[in-house]
């Protein structure tokens, strides 16, 4: 008798590995699973309906990976299933993006049987050299945990560890599931105890010490401010941030990657800080501060307008998920959540400096203009007036994710943008995933701004959107090609041109009928009218708007960032 059979007989409540895995995914809040089928994952996918999980069915694995990323940013965590070799490798650009931007995605790969792997069989989707580890080695560098489910004894433990690591480190994990392991039994009684998703507590002595040091500088500062960045969102420290903003009354700013982290209608909100590309008046206020409470910073080139911050480390306290840095001293193993909570509790009343006035209004010159051209200078503040509370707003790498810096959000908006990884086409997939998660949460609109170049990479996800009855509003910025690239290099170069597509008709090719409405907008009046149109605003159809903008126009922050990038590229 094989040893696995003995183990199975000893289990009181045996369940199949695939069922165990999917029930755990559901337990942590996943309702839909992205991916593409293949013969090495088909039998696993059979378990999804029984575990009350919806199969999305993407057009390709890259898009599925982007969609899983978008779903996780709205839902908290997501899962994607791919098939060995051909499928998983197609997803890797997306998974790398999730790793880079701290997005928790569980990547499950269906593999050939454990025996074929041991025998090094010459199977389809291999390199033909018997190496079955080559692909998992590729994924290891872009995953915070790797679990090979090839043994009945530790499969359940590995699944629990992978999901926990994914959640607490907020990064992708990689799980392999060979076909012969799908129906192998594990101990179902384990499911009675939920996976522990709590963060390891800071050592209280260390935490108290850091809190004392932070408070010493905070109480001594004359005009401290708060600057919130991406990792405050990604490491789920927003409750602590909101309490700090509320209790301290300090002027509060966000970076481009931190957009959506704080309520932009709050009286303390001062705008976007990004060095030279900051909202008007913001860099003066931030750079004059003698203490910046910097929460979850990612000081990348595109998040800082080409490294143009002018704030010294001597005036900064950095809060991160694994350490706090006060001026030049680093305190390891101190998670910002615990430290911030105590800082808020123990803080004495402060005397906040005044907050720069930030309006959602166009400059008087723009308001007076009779020009009908939809320029970036005009568009993005108008968008802010049109958005509604709780909207999910996605902007693609290009003019859109710089333009959004000038949009002042209503409350509870979730902003999605891949500022650090910057893989074009991302936002179309992310839009599908985000729209699905937003639908599961009910009453949230999903709105995408994407360039006419970027959408050409992943346009098929409009088909997945239709197939899943989703109804995002997609604005395609039609500006004759790769405008962001033109600003960096090759203004008139052929390589920055694209084939113009009939975007508004594409959904029809994908089978759209009365569940779709297309629009073509060329003037400011037309856009104002569209934004005021009740049906456009509240319909449950997919809406795609071709938004015509000049080829050579870009938001001011993009021009500055592109100049810096061009210089660095030599």
Query: What are the helix (H) ranges across 308-392?
Result: 336-346, 364-368, 376-386
Q: Where are the beta strands (DSSP E) in 355-413?
A: 392-395
The dihedral over CA atoms of 43, 47, 53, 55, expressed in degrees to the nearest 10, equals: 20
Closest to ligand TPP by CB, 255 or 395: 395
Binding of residue 477 to ligand TPP (CB under 6 A): yes
Burial classification of residue 413, based on how many CB atoms lie within 10 Å of its CB (0-12 exposed, 13-18 middle, 19 or more buried): buried
Closest to ligand TPP by CB, 99 or 253: 99
Binders of ligand TPP: how many residues, by CB under 6 A?
Answer: 19
CB atoms within 10 A of CB 115: 10
Please select the residue that binds ligand TPP; options are 422, 433, 472, 507, rule is CB under 6 A. 422
Binding of residue 339 to ligand TPP (CB under 6 A): no
Q: Which stretch binds ligand TPP (CB under 6 A): 268-276, 316-324, 407-415, 481-489?
A: 481-489
Closest to ligand TPP by CB, 293 or 400: 400
Least distance between ligand TPP and beta carbon 398 (Å): 3
Q: Is 154 annotated as a binding residue?
A: no
Binding of residue 482 to ligand TPP (CB under 6 A): yes
Binding of residue 273 to ligand TPP (CB under 6 A): no
**Which residues ranging from 178 to 217 are in contact with ligand TPP (CB under 6 A)?**
none
Binding of residue 399 to ligand TPP (CB under 6 A): yes
Least distance between ligand TPP and beta carbon 488 (Å): 8
Please select the residue that binds ligand TPP; options are 38, 398, 472, 518, rule is CB under 6 A. 398
Catalytic residues: 39, 61, 124-125, 422, 452, 479, 481, 485
Binding of residue 555 to ligand TPP (CB under 6 A): no
Binding of residue 379 to ligand TPP (CB under 6 A): no
- Closest to 399 measured CA to CA, from 450, 436, 469, 460: 450
Please select the residue that binds ligand TPP; options are 191, 336, 424, 434, rule is CB under 6 A. 424
Q: Which stretch binds ligand TPP (CB under 6 A): 12-20, 448-456, 510-518, 533-541?
A: 448-456
Burial classification of residue 270, based on how many CB atoms lie within 10 Å of its CB (0-12 exposed, 13-18 middle, 19 or more buried): buried
Angle (CA) 173 175 178, round 5°: 170
DSSP-derived pairing of the beta strands 14-16 and 185-187: antiparallel
Binding of residue 395 to ligand TPP (CB under 6 A): no
- Distances from the Cα of 326 to the Cαs of 212, 241, 293, in angstroms? 11, 17, 9
Binding of residue 479 to ligand TPP (CB under 6 A): yes
**What element of type H or E holds 416?**
strand 414-417
Please select the residue that binds ligand TPP; options are 374, 419, 484, 512, rule is CB under 6 A. 484
Least distance between ligand TPP and beta carbon 485 (Å): 5
- Closest to 241 measured CA to CA, from 337, 124, 366: 337
Please select the residue that binds ligand TPP; options are 65, 451, 518, 555, rule is CB under 6 A. 451
> In angstroms, rounded to a whole number, what is the distance separating the alpha carbons of residues 534 and 539?
8
> In angstroms, rounded to a whole number, what is the distance separating the alpha carbons of residues 183 and 15?
8
Please select the residue that binds ligand TPP; options are 276, 454, 458, 464, rule is CB under 6 A. 454
> In angstroms, rounded to a whole number, what is the distance separating the alpha carbons of residues 385 and 400?
17
Helix (H, G, I), strand (E, B) or coil at 78: strand
User: What residues form the annotated binding site?
Assistant: 452, 479, 481
Task: Enumerate the known binding-site residues for Mg(2+).
Answer: 452, 479, 481
Give the binding site for ligand TPP (CB under 6 A): 396-400, 422-424, 451-454, 477, 479, 481-485
């Amino acid at each position: 008798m094989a040893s696995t059979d003995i183990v199975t007989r000893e289990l009181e409540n045996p369940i199949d590995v695939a069922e165990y895995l999917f029930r755990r995914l559901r337990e942590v809040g996943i309702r839909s699973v992205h991916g593409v089928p293949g013969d090495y994952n088909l039998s696993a996918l059979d378990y999804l309906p029984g575990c009350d999980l919806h199969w999305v069915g993407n057009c390709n694995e890259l898009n599925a990976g982007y969609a899983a990323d978008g779903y996780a940013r709205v839902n908290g965590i997501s899962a994607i299933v791919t098939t060995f070799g051909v499928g998983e490798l197609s997803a890797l650009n997306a998974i790398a993006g999730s790793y880079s931007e701290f997005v928790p995605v569980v990547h499950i790969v269906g593999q050939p049987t454990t025996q074929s792997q041991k025998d090094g069989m010459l199977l389809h989707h291999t390199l033909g050299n018997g190496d079955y580890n080559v692909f998992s080695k590729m994924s290891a560098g872009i995953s915070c945990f790797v679990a090979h489910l090839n043994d009945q004894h530790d499969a359940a433990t590995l699944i629990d560890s992978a999901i926990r690591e994914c959640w607490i480190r907020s990064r992708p994990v990689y799980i392999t599931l060979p076909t012969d392991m799908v129906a192998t039994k594990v101990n179902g009684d384990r499911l009675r105890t939920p996976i522990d998703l709590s963060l390891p507590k800071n050592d209280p002595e260390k935490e108290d010490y850091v809190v004392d040091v932070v408070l010493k500088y905070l109480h001594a500062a004359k005009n401290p401010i708060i600057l919130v960045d991406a990792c405050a969102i990604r490491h789920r420290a927003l409750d602590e941030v909101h309490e700090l903003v509320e209790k301290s009354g300090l002027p509060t700013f966000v970076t481009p990657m931190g957009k959506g982290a704080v309520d932009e209608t709050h009286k303390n909100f001062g705008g976007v800080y990004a060095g030279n590309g900051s909202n008007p008046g913001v860099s003066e206020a931030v750079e004059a501060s003698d203490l910046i409470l910097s929460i979850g910073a990612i000081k990348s080139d595109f998040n800082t307008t080409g490294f143009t911050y002018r704030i010294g480390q001597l005036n900064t306290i950095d809060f991160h998920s694994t350490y706090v840095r006060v001026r030049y001293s680093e305190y390891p193993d101190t998670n910002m959540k615990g430290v911030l909570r105590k800082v808020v509790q123990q803080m004495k009343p402060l005397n906040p400096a005044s907050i720069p006035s930030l309006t959602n209004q166009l400059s008087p010159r723009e308001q007076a203009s009779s020009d009908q051209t939809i320029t970036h200078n005009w568009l993005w503040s108008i968008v802010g007036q049109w958005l509604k509370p709780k909207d999910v707003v996605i902007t693609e790498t290009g003019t859109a994710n710089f333009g959004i810096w000038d949009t002042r959000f209503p409350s509870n908006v979730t902003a999605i943008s891949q500022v650090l990884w910057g893989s074009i086409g991302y936002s179309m997939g992310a839009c599908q995933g985000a729209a699905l998660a937003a639908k599961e949460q009910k009453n949230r609109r999903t709105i995408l701004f994407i360039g006419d170049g970027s959408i050409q990479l992943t346009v098929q996800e409009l088909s997945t959107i239709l197939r899943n009855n989703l109804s995002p509003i997609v604005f395609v910025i039609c500006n004759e090609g790769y405008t962001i690239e033109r600003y960096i290099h090759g203004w008139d170069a052929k390589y920055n041109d694209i084939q113009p597509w009939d975007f508004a008709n594409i959904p029809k090719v994908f089978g759209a009928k009365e569940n779709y409405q297309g629009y073509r907008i060329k003037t400011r009046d037309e856009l104002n009218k569209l934004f005021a149109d009740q049906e456009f605003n509240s319909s449950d159809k997919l809406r795609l708007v071709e938004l015509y903008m000049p080829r050579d126009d870009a938001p001011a922050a993009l021009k500055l960032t592109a100049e810096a990038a061009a210089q660095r590229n030599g």
